[in-house]
Every structure is written in C-alpha cells, then in structure tokens.
Amino acid sequence: MQPTVPLYVSPGLWRLPVVPNLETAVLYTLAYSDVFDYPLTSEQIVRYLIGLSASHGEVRRALGSVAGIETDGHYHYLRGRGDITALRRSRDAVSQHIWPRAVAYGLRIARMPFVRMVALTGALAMGNASSENDDYDYLIVTEPGRLWMTRAMVIALVVRPAALVGFEICPNYIVTSDHLIVSQRDLYTAHELAQMVPLAGHDLYQMFRRSNAWTDAFLPNAQGSPSQQVPADGRRRGLTRTVVEPLLRSHVCTRFEQWEMHRKIVRLSAGEPDAELSFDEHCCKGHVGSHSRQVHAEFVQRLAALPIQSTSTVGSR
C-alpha cells in the first residue's frame, strides 16, 4: 500500500513521528528494529508501533497488506532480511543465559545506600545480547544530593569486582528522584525508556514513565513495563535505609559528594564535546560513542529503501 502523503514531516520522524496510516507505521517500526538486526513478533510490533495506537488485530491485518514485509510465521522483517531470524534466535539464547546474572547484579546495586530504582536497559533488555561478553547496562535513580556518592559506591563495590571476574557492569545513566524528566526527546530515547526492564523500585519506575509521557507520541502502545519483569527485591533495604543511610548523610559525606561531583565531571567531560553526555548534580549520563546518532543514520538508510513515497528528508538531530 502506497500512501500519497509525504513520508517525513518537519521537524523529522526522528523527533516528531507524524504517521499517515497503520501500514506506514508498521514499516517504520520494522525499519527501526532492522537497525539492530532484530525481527519482531506481531506482539512486539504492536507494543513498539511508531506514531500510532492500534490493536493486535488491526496490526495483524495490516501486516497482510503491507508491501516490503516478510515473515517466517513467527517473526516479521523487511523484505530480503530473513537471515536475521536465525540471528535473533541465537541472541535470544545468549540473553536467556546471561539474564539471571544481569538481574543479580542489578539487585545488588538496588540494595546499596540511596538507590531508589534500578532498570536494565540496552540490548539485553530486549533479549538481543550478541555474546556472553556483552555489558550489562543499568539506569539508576538515587536520592537527591547523593548521586555522585552512590555512583562511587556502585563503581567500587559492584563494577570493579564484576570486572575482576570478566563481567562489564555499566551504570551509564544515573538520575536523582526529583529530576526524572529526560530532556533528550527522540525515537531512540523513547525506545530506551519503553524497553527498559525495572528490577527494583517499581513504584518509582511508574512515576518515571509518567514523568516522561512525551514518549507516548513516539510509541503510544508501549505503556507500562515490558512483559519480562522481576519481582521487587526488598532484602536488606530496611537496614540500609534505617542504619547506613543516616550515617552517610553527615556533613563530611555532603562535602565528599560535592568533591566527587566536581572531580568526576571534569574527568568525564574531558575530550570531544558529546550531546549524549550530561553531568551535573542531578544527572550522570555517560553514553559515549554517539550511539543514538549512529542508529539515526542507519534508520535513515532503511527508510530510504522502503516502498513508500517520499517528498522530503528526515530532520537532522
């Protein structure tokens, strides 16, 4: 089916997904997942449908009428990309194998002082880990005023010990509980928030998602957390909050928080400026490598090959 309206609208699909019809939304969705060599089930197409809300039945009917889409009966993918189904099954197996370890490390972080929420993010959250050596990415929410102290404890007590036994723990996005609104608003970030799996602090996770309701414009069906969830873990939290945290709220620890913040901001900010890096008293976002820009560039390439008319170009980011 070939829509007669432009494929892209200002300021660009990446930042404002105005979608003309369901068939086009399905193509957009599969084009985005194709960047990650990741074919989708019909249920996943529904959840991560770009720009439109639709039921499972509506999406299944659309899948039967869209040119440029193929299926092996379980996964759906862009025409000519059937090879990625075997890759997805292989990555599913890898992800299932390392998942318990990633959860265990996440819960270890969750039991540390001042940690209020932990969610698993990145490829593993989607079951798309490429190898057993993939890193484990976490989003962490802390008590206000203790972000940098908490980060230092996570590095010392979780990241470094894990590295000694061959596991790479990446607490690459840490925010305080009073600054949950994410400023970077694009398709990549919306996906990251919608696909992250909460491991602890489920009530705060719900608040986090509500605080970023802007993601609904990109992924209106992706409400709540993904189906793969872990029960809240409350072990040792009572002792940590009632005994350890009051001790770490001393004047000395407050001064250490300020010292550590200034020291690490200088070090982490060194080098080339990067829009994906953000450091202050409320946020430590260290996604190095400009990953979202790379994803955007590859997404544009997929869109250019879709069987849809286009009269303009994708807005820059």
Q: State whether 67 and 201 are in the same domain.
A: no
Q: Is residue 223 part of a domain?
A: yes
316, pLDDT greater than 50: no
Average pLDDT over residues 115-138: 93
DSSP H or E segment with residue 215: none
Q: State whether 258 and 113 are in the same domain.
A: yes
Q: State whether 282 and 315 are in the same domain.
A: no
Domain containing residue 68: CATH number? 1.10.10
278, β-bridge pairs: 285
Give the tens place of pLDDT for each residue, 85-102. Answer: 999 999 999 999 999 999
b/e string for 181-215 if b means 16 or more Cβ within 10 A? ebeebbbbbbbbbbbbbbbbbbebbeebbeebeeb
274, pLDDT greater than 80: no
End-to-end Cα separation, the chain, in angstroms: 29
Q: State whether 73 and 214 are in the same domain.
A: no
Q: Is residue 88 part of a domain?
A: no
Collect all residues with Cβ–Cβ distance below 8 Å to 311 and sequence separation of at least 6: 6, 7
Q: State whether 266 and 301 are in the same domain.
A: no
C-alpha dist (Å) from residue 185 to 11, 81, 293: 12, 29, 13
Give the tens place of pLDDT for each residue, 204-256. Answer: 999 999 999 999 999 999 998 886 666 555 455 667 777 899 999 999 999 99
Confidence at 2, pLDDT banded by 50, 70, 90: very low
Contact predicate 284/277, CB 8 Å:
no
Q: Rounded to an integer, what distance in angstroms lies between the CA atom of residue 41 and that of residue 60?
A: 10
The owner of tokens 């000519």 is 80
Higher-scoring residue by pLDDT: 291, 72: 72
Higher-scoring residue by pLDDT: 201, 236: 201
Average pLDDT over residues 248-276: 86
317, pLDDT greater than 90: no
What is residue 306's predicted lDDT score, i.e. its pLDDT? 85
Q: State whether 22 and 38 are in the same domain.
A: yes
Q: Is residue 273 part of a domain?
A: yes
Q: What tokens were used for 202?
A: 């489920």
Give the tens place of pLDDT for each residue, 156-186. Answer: 999 999 999 999 999 999 999 999 999 889 9
310, pLDDT greater than 50: no
314, pLDDT greater than 80: no
77, β-bridge pairs: 70
Q: Is residue 90 part of a domain?
A: no
What is residue 17's predicted lDDT score, i.e. its pLDDT? 83
Q: State whether 267 and 194 are in the same domain.
A: yes
286, β-bridge pairs: 277
Closest to 106 in 3D by CA, of 196, 37, 42: 196
Torsion sign across C-alpha atoms 233, 226, 186, 168: positive
198, β-bridge pairs: 119
Number of domains into which the chain is organized: 2
Q: Is residue 131 part of a domain?
A: yes
What is residue 272's predicted lDDT score, i.e. its pLDDT? 58
Q: Rounded to an integer, what distance in angstroms lies between the CA atom of residue 178 and that of residue 300?
A: 35
Domain limits at 243? Answer: 99-286
Q: State whether 274 and 306 are in the same domain.
A: no
7, pLDDT greater than 50: no
Contact predicate 231/110, CB 8 Å:
no
The owner of tokens 């439109």 is 52
Least confident of 13-22, 35-44, 217-226, 268-277: 268-277
Collect all residues with Cβ–Cβ distance below 8 Å to 115 and sequence separation of at least 6: 109, 140, 141, 142, 150, 154, 200, 201
Q: What tokens were used for 178?
A: 């009073």
Q: Is residue 173 part of a domain?
A: yes
| DSSP label of 40 | B
R_g over Cα of the chain: 21
Q: Is residue 190 part of a domain?
A: yes
Q: State whether 125 and 106 are in the same domain.
A: yes
Q: Rounded to an integer, what distance in angstroms lies between the CA atom of residue 180 and that of residue 251?
A: 26
Q: Is residue 226 part of a domain?
A: yes
Q: State whether 222 and 133 are in the same domain.
A: yes
Higher-scoring residue by pLDDT: 16, 1: 16
5, pLDDT greater than 50: no
68, pLDDT greater than 60: yes
What is residue 273's predicted lDDT score, i.e. its pLDDT? 62
Q: State whether 234 and 299 are in the same domain.
A: no
Average pLDDT across the chain, whole number: 87
Q: What tokens were used for 307?
A: 């069987």
Q: State whether 110 and 255 are in the same domain.
A: yes
Query: For the whole model, what pTM was predicted?
Result: 0.89
Confidence at 270, pLDDT banded by 50, 70, 90: confident
